[in-house]
Amino acid sequence: MPPVAQELIDDLPGSRLLATAIIVVIAIAAYLIAAMAGRRYVRRMVDKGSDRAARAETLWTVLRRFFLLIVTVTAVMFVFTTWKWSLAPFLGVGTVLAAALGFGAQD
C-alpha cells in the first residue's frame, strides 16, 4: 500500500480498532478451520477401526494446542504492529522470565 494511502487510513478514527478486530476474526477462523479439518481426519481413522486411532487422537490434541499457540502468538504480533507498539521490551521480559524459571526449575 502506498505510504499516502496508509497515512489516510491511519488517520481515520477507529481504524486501528477495526484492524485489530479483523486480525482477531481471521485468527479465530484459521483456528476453527484447522480444528474442524483435524477432527474430521481423526474421526475418519476412528471410524475405520484403525489400531492407530488412539495415537491419532492423542497426537491431534497436542497438534491442536500447538496450532492454537502459533495462531495466538501471530495474532498478538500483528496487533502489536497495528498499534505500532514495540515488541522488544516484551521479548526482553519474556527472556528474563524464561531464564529465571529455567534456573528455578533446577532445584
Q: What is the dihedral of CA 23, 25, 29, 31, to 10 degrees?
A: 60
Query: What's the grid cell of residue 28?
Result: 479465530
Q: Tell me how far apart the alpha carbons of residues 92 and 96 are, in angstroms, rounded to a whole number.
A: 6
pLDDT of residue 8: 62
pLDDT of residue 68: 95
Tens digits of residue pLDDT in 4-52: 666 666 667 788 888 899 999 999 999 999 999 989 988 888 887 767 7
Q: Tell me how far apart the alpha carbons of residues 93 and 8 are, in angstroms, rounded to a whole number.
A: 34
39, 57 in Cβ contact below 8 A? no
pTM beyond 0.75? no
